[in-house]
Copies of this chain bind each other. A is one copy, B any other.
Amino acid sequence: MAGETIVRITDVAALAGVSIGTASKALNDTGQLREETRLRVREAAQKLGFVMDARGRALSSGRSYTVGMITTDSFGRFSIPVMLGAEDVLSAGQMAVLMCDTRDDSVREQHYLRSLSSRRVDGIIVTGRSSDPRPRIEVDIPVVYAFTPSLSPDDVSVAVDDARGAEILAEHLLTIGRRRVAYVSGPSRHAASTLRAGAAAALLGPNLVAPPLFGEWSERWGRQAVDLLLRQNPDVDAIACGSDQVARGVCDRLRELGKSVPQDVAVTGYDDWNVMALASRPPLTTVNLRLEDVGRLAGRALLDLIAGREPASAVIEPTLVIRESTVGA
């Protein structure tokens, strides 16, 4: 175990009394060998503590068993769960993952693409900060886009269903009997932001008391929005927010004004970011984007692509998470 001289497949073959080609076949479950021979080789490998040299394998098989994970997000709040999910299924498939944080810099992106190409990775997963689509990357190996879909419909993307998330929350508010709903969104320049606001508005119809308010992704904006809103619509009975951060600000301000949540006003967030959704008073009803599932699916799709199959793009439906900000404690 601790006798640390590196053991090659040659050594395994010698101990098992077979040729090195045979040893290779035995260890990889390829070729046609008697079961007994396979076993003998495996035992020899076991005994010697053989770990295959990935370099040799990569060179001769043409497969590096390595994939690149490119993110523009510096491993932020959204890309991390995606990466964890992807890494989970990839490493179960014996793939190693090279991390590439481009920081939204195209020079760095080029650098990483060269590095990955030089390493002959079997494929690439691309993810990022937002669910807005991005330009495709031009390489001739398998690529899967996760969370941040590709603009090109020919690419394989695993996205989240942003509109559906907003609808789920709107339905929930209607279900619990709210009829005077307001929508407090993030910045209008985010496609996801307007998409969600639009979907919610469409579903709420006349139950929406005012046009969606656009601002920023912050608690401060949530607090400001409450003031704006109550001035025009003092009888609002629910506020759907574009993010958990905004929702938390909304809750704080409502409490300060003596309105009780959810009795007077129900509040919903978006994202199920624990540090916001659970710390809020009261904890937030929100939707969970299932980003780990997005990552997992993307990982599987990439494995499929590498194996020569043709996975389809997919859209993951978020799930409703009900907490005390909409249903009485």
Contact = CB atoms under 8 A, between A and B. Distances in A.
A111 B140 contact: no
A120 B4 contact: no
B75 A120 contact: no
Contact of A75 (B51, B75, B96, B112): B75
A94 B119 CA distance: 12
A99 B101 contact: no
Contacts of A55: 55, 58-59, 64, 119-120
Interface stretch (A80-88, A204-212, A228-236, A307-315): A80-88
A301 to B, nearest CB: 19
Contact of A119 (B54, B80, B99, B112): B54
Contacts of A117: 51
Interface size class of A (residues with CB under 8 A): 35 or more
A106 B83 CA distance: 20
Contact of A114 (B51, B99, B220): B51
Contacts of A219: 279
B75 A84 contact: yes
26 contacts: A51-B117, A53-B120, A55-B58, A55-B120, A56-B59, A59-B59, A66-B98, A66-B119, A69-B99, A74-B80, A74-B84, A75-B75, A75-B83, A75-B84, A80-B80, A83-B99, A84-B101, A91-B111, A96-B115, A97-B98, A97-B99, A98-B99, A218-B279, A220-B279, A245-B279, A275-B275
Interface of A: 4, 51-56, 58-59, 64, 66, 69, 74-75, 80, 83-84, 87, 91, 94, 96-99, 101, 111-112, 114-115, 117-120, 140, 218-220, 245, 275-276, 279
